[in-house]
Amino acid sequence: MHVGLDARTLTGNISGVGNYLGNVVEAGAFDGHTVSAYYDASEGESPVDLDVPDGTTLEWRALAPPAGIDGLLGPAAPVWWVNVSLAKALRDDDVDCFFGPNFVQPLAFGGPSVVVVHDMVHRRYPETHPTAYHWYLRTFLAGSLWRADHVVAVSENTERDVRFYHDVPESRLTVAYGAANETYRPRDMSDELAERLRERYDLPPEFLLYVGNLEPRKNLVALLRALRAFDDDERPPLVVVGQEHLADEEFAAEYERCSFADRITFTGYVAEDDLPLLYDLASAFVYPSLYEGFGLPVLEALQSGTPVVTSDRSSLPEIVDDAALTVDPQNPSALADAIRTLWFDPDARERYRRRGRRRASRFSWTRTAAKIASVLESVGADDRSRRPRVTT
């Protein structure tokens, strides 16, 4: 089968979507197929170097929209690329099936298609998305789901959200989880390496770790309020890895008046090779997010053998099962109690380290790729005329 792939997320800085797509390609999701991977040549960036398995024939295809489109459409230029440039290429190349890893597909492509939905943040927490992106998804996602032969969701929670907001029948939905890369693992780190990392990122000897964007949905304000409940001489230092995605005024105000700012380290961007080491150095990982489509940082922590405190909302209980302490993320007192358990009780830390590693072993890119391969095979023989309609 000739599969057309929207590969824009495999150029430039690789996002969570690009990480998902690259890993399923490398794990063999498209084995036995010829894949045309289309990307936007106007961005001036080259595709990432993938370790493509022998069973996959991958051909990169650069598509550039007409000159002047970027200036004419501004931030809406990607809509042109998907619905005009990509749609034309899919038809010209006689693609048998389109695979859209990032929610949408071209409106003008009439062939079989599979789309991946990573979350429903734009519906559940619309205020945490830029307005333009919110309406882009509100406008195009419903049409993509209406026409897709099959929809892949990255968690059961996301699958439920897709059914709730778009009434996609369960028969056309498959859950294919993400996974953590193999670099996330417990390790015997030399004292010299540990000291270099502490100097590079100004890390305290022991610390709580948070990894992720800085934005209201991540609920870091609750973490500050939880740490405020500790006595000064018992309060754990906090290391925050990530960059501001959306302004969080409530968090900024809480941080301004907090008396322990000297015990909080903001590292900003951390080198890709260093991030697994920071998980390994951390005494515990805290992730009080209000909503996640999957929750990859939590899985990275589990696989690293770092004990976890996380939210009891959205996909997070599904990912951790009994391998982490889960709490109401809007209850700072409960969050503080869970942190105390892991910070002060070595037996609890060791128990959750073991549980975390065992739980993380249930997620792998090989399993995810096999799920997607099965979906592609089924779509190849699908009778589109029997598809029920999806509501908007």
Same structural domain, 292 and 202: yes
Residue-level pLDDT at 136: 78
Residue-level pLDDT at 68: 65
The answer as to whether 392 is a domain residue is no
End-to-end CA distance of the chain: 31
Same structural domain, 11 and 45: yes
Same structural domain, 217 and 351: yes
CA distance 390 to 148: 10
Average pLDDT over the chain reads: 91
Per-residue pLDDT at 173 exceeds 90: yes
Question: Model confidence at 86, in pLDDT bands (50, 70, 90)?
Answer: very high
Per-residue pLDDT at 167 exceeds 50: yes
Q: Which residue has the higher pLDDT, 318 or 135?
A: 318
Per-residue pLDDT at 81 exceeds 50: yes
Strand pairing report for 113-117 and 34-40: unpaired
Residues 179-187, mean pLDDT to the nearest whole number: 95
Q: Are 316 and 295 in contact (CB under 8 A)?
A: yes
Residue-level pLDDT at 383: 41
Same structural domain, 376 and 231: no
Q: What are 197-225's pLDDT values in tens digits?
A: 999 999 999 999 999 988 889 999 999 99
Output DSSP code: residue 262: G
CA distance 331 to 338: 11
Could you give the number of structural domains in the chain?
A: 2
CA atoms within 13 A on the CB side of 127: 7
Question: Model confidence at 78, in pLDDT bands (50, 70, 90)?
Answer: confident
The answer as to whether 175 is a domain residue is yes
The answer as to whether 186 is a domain residue is no
Per-residue pLDDT at 69 exceeds 70: no
Reduced to 3 states (helix: H, G, I; strand: E, B; else coil), residue 116 is strand
The answer as to whether 391 is a domain residue is no
Same structural domain, 274 and 168: no
CA distance 17 to 328: 28
335 membership: H or E segment, kind and range: helix 332-344
Per-residue pLDDT at 392 exceeds 60: no
Same structural domain, 267 and 314: yes
CA distance 90 to 58: 15
Same structural domain, 310 and 338: yes
Hunting for tokens 């509501």 — which residue is that?
391
Same structural domain, 278 and 336: yes
Same structural domain, 46 and 136: yes
Q: What are 256-297's pLDDT values in tens digits?
A: 999 999 999 999 889 999 999 999 999 999 999 999 999 999
Whether pTM exceeds 0.85: yes
Residue-level pLDDT at 389: 47
Q: Which domain holds residue 379?
A: 2-179+365-384
The answer as to whether 389 is a domain residue is no
Residue-level pLDDT at 14: 81
CATH number assigned to the domain comprising residue 79: 3.40.50.2000
The answer as to whether 185 is a domain residue is no
Same structural domain, 275 and 197: yes
CA distance 352 to 327: 15
CA distance 228 to 225: 5
CA distance 52 to 28: 8
Q: What are 345-366's pLDDT values in tens digits?
A: 999 999 999 999 999 999 999 9
Same structural domain, 203 and 66: no
Mean pLDDT lowest among 72-86, 158-172, 192-206: 72-86
Same structural domain, 111 and 143: yes
Write the DSSP string, 265-277.
Answer: EEEES--TTTHHH
Q: Are 283 and 208 in contact (CB under 8 A)?
A: yes
Write the DSSP string, 36-50.
Answer: EEEEEGGG--PBP--
